[in-house]
Amino acid sequence: MKRLFLNAGLLLMLCQGIALADGGPDARDRKTARKVRVLRELPGYLAPKDSVRTAEKAEDNFKPSIHVGAIVHMFASAEQSGFGGNVADKASDWNKGFSLYRARVLVGGQLSRKGSFFMETDLPSPIGIQLGDSTKNVKVAPILLDCQYEYAFSNAFQLIAGMQLVSSNRNGLQGAAGLMANDFTYFQYPYNLFANSPLQGNFGRDLGVNARGFLLKDKLEYRLGLFTGRNLDGQAPLRIVGRVAYNFLDPEKDYYYAGTKLGAGNTIAWGAGFDTQGSYYNVGTDLFIDKKAGEAGSVTLNAAFQYMTGGTNVNSKYTFARQIPKQTVQFLELGYYFKKSRIQPWVRYENQNISATKEQVGSELIDNFDKAKSSSVYGGGVNYFFNGSATNLRLSYVARKHNVADAGGAYSSKTYGQVWLQVQFFLF
């Protein structure tokens, strides 16, 4: 009898909590179903028939939903020969043209109350003039970029399986529609971009399974994934990628991070992560701040530091020693959004400093190798937002500095520029 009264009291308190909870009828139905399932497991519980019927009805009334959208980046550009990394005899030569840079179709939906999916296509190369190339593409077949299924066991544990964006760094996990600068960081995917890259990526994507969850009142987020990485014979070690992020102010729960929040943010987030496979590893940390700064608008700061190496064991079957030299990468973006005029000026700096070991270089001179491979990118621009991330216009100038050897083998730094005027429209 005592156990029966205890269970009845628990049921009364849970029902009161459900009645007071905010979140709409669907949220209340889900909570009702979950609470009743928990109560059913209590010893000696006699469930009221009405409560059970309500929970079962909530489950039965669920209907799958689907969303379709698109993101398009089109731009006019002028780029000096040599910007892409190839030595240019005439730095004064500029490649000019128009390009359709991104043209993605997005499809997502809720398959069950806890299960959802997301798919995305993209162009494998720009239509029009390609950056760093003088040729013109007129017809490009789309490819499958993302294809993932997510099941949310709880707020603290979710699993995402399939082809997905992989990075231990915040900028590498941002959505293309929410960038502040004209594009992702130049050195974010140097080894994970194409099938012939050391990690055999697909525009920063990889196949695998990723766990994610939120703790400490949603302030702490973790991600830990196992991915295919480089695999030549089916016996490769798995690629392991992990990340933790702590939000000191408002939580961030979107799977793809925002690069700027246009006055709607109240965010100070610090993160750290790692990426490893075989002899390769990459560790780093990042800081993101987006919050109101004065009456005029809000400030956005995004900074990161990474250390990576392919290791020194050249005899290992899955060694990256000759593919990924030891290096550090620094990154900084800073912008200010004027809410009245909807204008956002920004500046950007990136640096890739190569410091290879003798095992990684082989017969080459280490000093010359480091100079030839190191470079930096810096510049800035201004964005105008017609309607937030839905439609906007971006104008930018970015310069890339290389060390270039002359005929006598002496190195000197040369800088090449790029002007970019881009229009974006996005709907999902």
Query: Each residue of 398-407: pLDDT tens digit?
Result: 999 988 888 7
355 vs 271: CA distance, rounded Å: 25
pLDDT at 28: 44
5 vs 378: which has the higher pLDDT: 378
183 vs 50: which has the higher pLDDT: 183
Q: Tokens for 345? A: 């000026």
129 vs 71: CA distance, rounded Å: 20
Residues facing residue 104 across a β-bridge: 71
Listed in order, the ranges of the chain carrying CATH 2.40.160.10 are: 65-427
17 vs 337: which has the higher pLDDT: 337
Least confident of 82-91, 258-267, 378-387: 82-91
pLDDT at 39: 37
Q: How far is CA 77 from CA 86, 100, 133, 397, in A?
A: 18, 11, 12, 10
pLDDT at 3: 45
pLDDT at 17: 44
72 vs 57: which has the higher pLDDT: 72
Show the 3-state SS of the chain: CHHHHHHHHHHHHHHHHHHHCCCHHHHHHHHHHHHHHHHHCCCCCCCCHHHHHHHHHHHHCCCCEEEEEEEEEEEEEEEECCCCCCCCCCCCCEEEEEEEEEEEEEEEEECCCCEEEEEEEECCCCEEECCCCCCEECCCCCEEEEEEEEEEEECCEEEEEEEEECCCCCHHHECHHHCCCCCCCCCCCCCCCCCCCCCCCECCEEEEEEEEEEECCCCEEEEEEEECCCCCCCCCCCEEEEEEEEECCCCCCCCCECCCCCCCCCEEEEEEEEEEECCEEEEEEEEEEEEECCCCEEEEEEEEEEEEECCCCCCCCCCCCCCCCCEEEEEEEEEEEECCCCEEEEEEEEEEEECCCHHHHCCCCHHHHHHHHCEEEEEEEEEEECECECEEEEEEEEEEEEEEECCCCCEEEEEEEEEEEEEEEEEC
pLDDT at 311: 95
Percent of the chain with pLDDT over 70: 83
Query: Each residue of 208-232: pLDDT tens digit?
Result: 999 999 999 999 999 999 999 999 8
Residues facing residue 107 across a β-bridge: 68, 119
Yes or no: domain 65-427 corresponds to CATH 3.40.50.720: no
Does residue 243 contact residue 222 with C-beta atoms inside 8 Å?
yes
Least confident of 23-27, 181-185, 257-261: 23-27
Cβ neighbour number for residue 173 with a 10 Å cutoff: 23
The pLDDT-based confidence of 385 (bands split at 50, 70, 90) is very high
**Does the pLDDT value for residue 185 go beyond 60?**
yes
Cα distance from N-terminal residue to C-terminal residue, the chain:
55
Cα dihedral 266→172→318→124 (10° resolution): 160
163 vs 270: CA distance, rounded Å: 26
Query: Each residue of 118-168: pLDDT tens digit?
Result: 999 999 988 987 665 667 888 889 999 999 999 999 999 999 999 999 999
Q: Tokens for 233? A: 């014979």
Least confident of 50-54, 161-165, 183-187, 309-313: 50-54
Query: Each residue of 13-56: pLDDT tens digit?
Result: 444 443 444 444 444 444 444 443 443 334 443 445 555 555 55
Query: Each residue of 263-297: pLDDT tens digit?
Result: 999 999 999 999 999 999 999 999 999 999 999 99
The pLDDT-based confidence of 420 (bands split at 50, 70, 90) is very high
**Does the pLDDT value for residue 234 go beyond 70?**
yes
**Does the pLDDT value for residue 173 go beyond 90?**
yes
363 vs 326: which has the higher pLDDT: 326
The pLDDT-based confidence of 76 (bands split at 50, 70, 90) is very high
| Mean pLDDT, range 360-373, rounded to an integer | 88
